[in-house]
Amino acid sequence: MRKLAISVGLLCLAVTSLSCAHPASSAPAPTPTAAGAALVEVGGGKQAGALGTTLSQPVVVQGNDEQGNGVSGALVSFRGPGHVSFDPPTGLTDSSGQFTTNVSLGGMAGRYQLTAGTMSKTQKVVELKIEEIALGHQEVLGRELSEQYCARCHNPESTAERVSNYDNLETKPHPFTEGDTLNKMSDADLIAIISHGGPALNKSALMPPYGYTLTKSEIQALIAYIRMVSDPPYGAPGIVYAQK
């Protein structure tokens, strides 16, 4: 009698814990009609968006066969750490072998490593890592300031609205993603060069001082943004969220 009661109790616990683990699971994954040998990123990686929000561009991956041609009908599934969500999380590749998903990042600022996976013909799991960046308030503010004050020279890419001044400069500014150079500079160095201009670090006078234009906290925000988007990542601990 007691054994029965215990087993019923355990069963109840198991059911509740299972139902907790899979809250309102979505529609079952479609059945794949083909299998890919490799996954490659087509677009949408290394984006920076405010934490919790949907990234402006969808992430697109392509399932390829051994020859590198797109495979249609292969099942691709995405997963990520923390509260990252995908819309849709799984699906079949389209006629050109591509699968597109909208990614919403988690609620903590930092780098997120997403994993796209598919099953090969030999039942091996093929995975692709994609990195995205979630910006906290400070970094969002830094990005806004960077767009207003810095991007005209520091971003070599031109858009219709903002023609880059990068090519006009004799001494080339460092794009903010250039981690190889910027990661070697300490926060104090960055504060000095932003506040007092290039000559503060024996660099070009073409970099003007912004210490009388931006506030201290604005300069901090800019540095937070620069650190967050640098590639390779800035070595400060605690900003990489690996898959747990």
List residues near other proteins by CB under 8 A.
Answer: 24, 50-54, 56, 83, 102, 104, 106-109, 136-138, 140-141, 144-145, 148-149, 152-153, 160-161, 163-165, 167-169, 198, 204-213, 217, 220-221, 224, 236-238, 241
229, 183 in Cβ contact below 8 A? no
By beta-carbon proximity to other proteins, the closer residue of 138 and 177 is 138
The string of DSSP codes covering 194-239 is HHH-GGGGT--TTS---TTTS-HHHHHHHHHHHHHH-BSPP--TT-
- How far is residue 37's CA from residue 29's CA, in Å, rounded to a whole number? 20
Q: Tell the smallest beta-carbon distance from residue 12 to other proteins (Å).
A: 19
169: which 2 tokens? 């400069």
Q: Tell the smallest beta-carbon distance from residue 221 to other proteins (Å).
A: 8
Q: In this structure, what are the phi and psi dihedrals at residue 147, rounded to the nearest 5 degrees?
A: -60, -40
By beta-carbon proximity to other proteins, the closer residue of 65 and 131 is 131
Q: Tell the smallest beta-carbon distance from residue 33 to other proteins (Å).
A: 28
Q: Tell the smallest beta-carbon distance from residue 179 to other proteins (Å).
A: 19
- How far is residue 234's CA from residue 17's CA, in Å, rounded to a whole number? 39
By beta-carbon proximity to other proteins, the closer residue of 117 and 209 is 209
